[in-house]
Structure 1
Amino acid sequence: MAQQGPNNLEGDLLAIDARVAIVTARFNEFITDRLTEAAINTWERLGGKAENLASVHVPGAIELAVTAKKLAETGKYQAVICLGCVIRGETDHYDHVVEQTAIGVREVATQTGIPCIFGVLTCDTLEQAIDRAGTKMGNAGRNAMMTAVEMANLMEKIR
């Protein structure tokens, strides 16, 4: 008797029926605008419908999680993307913001069961942030959208 392989589940990279929200921090807007633009462009290229995508802006990275939680709790979205940019400064403020933002985004996903994608750049320099917003290392907003669409589709398959 032939042995069967595992039942593999994977999310598709088609946004046709997906419903996604993007929450973007305005702090370091020069960078975060590029992340959001790339995420929206990727959504369109993956076949996403304009009416199934929401874009919300908040003051800074710390506000991402609470906003993502409210969006996830509406039941309207299958994934929420959190975009931001935190650049290290002269004090340890950076460490606190980065840690609390990461914890908050993770908690939204585990508490709501809605994938919450961490698309927050955590950089030592402005040059690193610029590179990750599309100059040398791709664009973290594009990557976040691809992850969100794949996870939204995977969650549907699991249901």
Structure 2
Amino acid sequence: MATLIEPELRGAGLRVGVAVARFNELFTKHLLEGCLRELRRHGVADADITIAWVPGSFELATAARELVEQRHVAVAVCLGCIIRGETTHYDHVAQESARSIARVALETRTPVIYGVVTAETVEQAINRCGAKAGNKGADAGVAAVEMGRLVQTLRTHPARGHRARKASERPAAASPPTS
């Protein structure tokens, strides 16, 4: 029989770090408002939320890592807005911010939610930051509660017959065969 793990969307006691890009603040402040609204709606207390403003989306990963390692948050959320301009800068920032945020999650074994809006136009950004297409910051807030609880559940209730291990307890990689 399959085991189903569906954590409750219950944020009480969940420590959340939110990194927000100041660049395109006209948009990111709406992402932050949506994120905070959903965190609070799901029971995360203001005392359990740490917000760190950074210059731009490229710096989000650094802030997320510090929130995880220094503030010991259970989950981090990265909020930013990257709008295509006339150069390739957009492509570099969008790709590297996504890649580095994912790397922080994998290396710290902590959920890091990617709440960065990438838009071709200002109109798209407006729509995705709280207008017609919803608020991606709000979506990130809900995902933070869900992923924070999921990881806590998986770590506190390991598979039967198995003990949960820390990353430092992982078995060493097998040595390559010698000829």
Shorter-chain-normalised TM-score: which range? over 0.9
Q: Pick from 23, 27, 35: which aligns with 1:27?
A: 23
Higher Rg? 2
Q: CA deviation at 1:11?
A: 2.3
Please report the TM-score for the alignment, with normalisation by the length of structure 2.
Answer: 0.84
1:140 matches 2:140? no
Q: Deviations over 1:17-41 (max 9, x none)?
A: 2111100000000000000011111
Letter in 1 for 2:129: A
Q: CA deviation at 1:111?
A: 0.3
Instruction: Report the secondary structure of 1:43's partner residue.
Output: helix
Give unpaired runs (5+ residues) of structure 1: none
Structure with more contact order per residue of length (Cα contacts < 8 Å, sep ≥ 6): 1
Instruction: Report the secondary structure of 2:53's partner residue.
Output: strand
Letter in 2 for 1:105: I
Q: Pick from 55, 68, 71: which aligns with 1:72?
A: 68
The equivalent residue for 2:3 is: 7
Alignment of 1:35-46 (within 5 A): 35-46=31-42
Letter in 2 for 1:57: W
Q: CA deviation at 1:75?
A: 5.8
Percentage of pairs with the same residue: 41
Moved more, 8-17 or 122-131: 8-17
Two-structure CA RMSD over aligned residues (Å): 0.9
Q: In structure 2, what is the Cα distance between the partners aligned to 1:72 and 1:95? A: 27
Letter in 2 for 1:11: P
Instruction: Report the secondary structure of 2:19's partner residue.
Output: strand
Instruction: Report the secondary structure of 2:126's partner residue.
Output: helix
Q: In structure 1, what is the Cα distance between the partners aligned to 2:116 and 2:44? A: 22
Instruction: Report the secondary structure of 2:81's partner residue.
Output: strand
The equivalent residue for 2:77 is: 81
The equivalent residue for 2:145 is: 149
Aligned length: 155
Q: CA deviation at 1:74?
A: 2.5
